[in-house]
Amino acid sequence: MTEPLLAIRGLETAYGAVQVLFGVELDVHPGEIVAVIGPNGAGKSTVIKTVIGLARSSKGSIRFAGEEISRMAPHRIPALGIGYVPQGRIVFARMTVEDNLEMGAFLIGERARRRRAVDAVFAQFPRLHERRAQLAGSLSGGEQQMLAIGRALMLDPRLVILDEPSLGLSPKYVDLIFEQLVDLKRQGRTLLMVEQNAARALELADRGYALELGRNRYSDSGAALLANPEVRRMYLGGAGRA
Ligand SMILES: Nc1ncnc2c1ncn2[C@@H]1O[C@H](COP(=O)(O)OP(=O)(O)O)[C@@H](O)[C@H]1O
Ligand SMILES: [Mg+2]
């Protein structure tokens, strides 16, 4: 296989005195969708937060494109080529759709280039184009999630990290968002996502990692994890389709 784009080794992270990650290992190869699953509190978001510098590891390494980034300040992360879609589809509610996208391109000084990036996102999400002059706060939840994803794409990142992209969305929008993630992969993008909707995430993931209390529990192809009876019992709510 190719060199991993992201390689996490022996990662330990604590909030104050409370340690929540105990030696997490994770790889993301170029062009893959990798899903991190696990129950609430397993440490999924903390893995992501440590990668993007919002939480500090006490041990272990995080290499992105061959460079150690675990001591890097969070404001340097976007320029490395990591796009981040936070949990809870956070958008600037009082700004228009278009201005929200512009905010994702603050690093691009050149206006024409910013314009091209906005147009590329509009091509990916025609619905955002239709609503470009609307305030983000007036969008539906699913549209806000699209906007949050679009904003993360503005700098044409090499890796897009998504924290619970389907959480709280209506079934229709869950389908739409997952379809769009597959579409991004088809375009050659690399995605790392955290999902409580483990069944849906593993269906589209090339590989998955199941965490338990801050440790790796299972890692395999998405299909193998979906077929694993223990994984089904522990993470997918029983033997049947979750
Ligand atoms: N900012 C924080 N301060 C203290 N503890 C935190 C903080 N964020 C998360 N935790 C704790 O860390 C553990 C892992 O949380 P988190 O990474 O959010 O899990 P997940 O995303 O899998 O639900 C939980 O026990 C949670 O309560
Ligand atoms: Mg979380």
Banded model confidence at residue 30, pLDDT cuts 50, 70, 90: very high
Radius of gyration of the CA atoms of the chain, in A = 18
Question: Which residues, in sequence order, are CB contacts of 191 under 8 Å at separation 6+?
Answer: 32, 33, 34, 159, 160, 161, 162, 181, 184, 185
Q: Atom 25 (ligand 1): residue with closest C-alpha?
A: 41
CATH of 6-235, one of 3.40.50.300, 3.40.50.720, 3.40.50.1240, 3.30.950.10: 3.40.50.300
CA–centroid distance, 142 to ligand 1, in Å, is 25
User: What per-residue confidence (pLDDT) applies to 104?
Assistant: 87
Q: Atom 13 (ligand 1): residue with closest C-alpha?
A: 41
- Tell me: the pLDDT tens digits for 171-210? 999 999 999 999 999 999 999 999 989 999 999 999 999 9
- Tell me: the pLDDT tens digits for 119-172? 999 999 999 999 999 999 999 999 999 999 999 999 999 999 999 999 999 999
43 CA closest ligand 1 atom index:
17
Q: Atom 3 (ligand 1): residue with closest C-alpha?
A: 15
The domain locations on the chain are: 6-235
User: What per-residue confidence (pLDDT) applies to 84?
Assistant: 96
Asked whether the predicted pLDDT for residue 22 surpasses 70, the reply is yes
Average pLDDT estimate for 98-115: 88
- Tell me: the pLDDT tens digits for 75-85? 999 999 999 99
Asked whether the predicted pLDDT for residue 15 surpasses 50, the reply is yes
> Half-sphere exposure of residue 123, counting CA atoms within 13 Å on the CB side?
10
Which ligand sits nearest to residue 162's alpha carbon?
2
User: What per-residue confidence (pLDDT) applies to 240?
Assistant: 46
Decide: 21 in ligand 1 pocket, CB within 6 A: no
Average pLDDT estimate for 1-5: 82
3-state secondary structure the chain: CCCCCEEEEEEEEEECCEEEEEEEEEEECCCCEEEEECCCCCCHHHHHHHHCCCCCEEEEEEEECCEECCCCCHHHHHHHCEEEECCCCCCCCCCEHHHHHHHCCCCCCCHHHHHHHHHHHHHHCHHHHHCCCCEHHHCCHHHHHHHHHHHHHCCCCCEEEEECCCCCCCHHHHHHHHHHHHHHHHCCCCEEEECCCHHHHHHHCCEEEEEECCEEEEEEEHHHHHHCHHHHHHHCCCCCCC
Mean pLDDT of the chain: 94
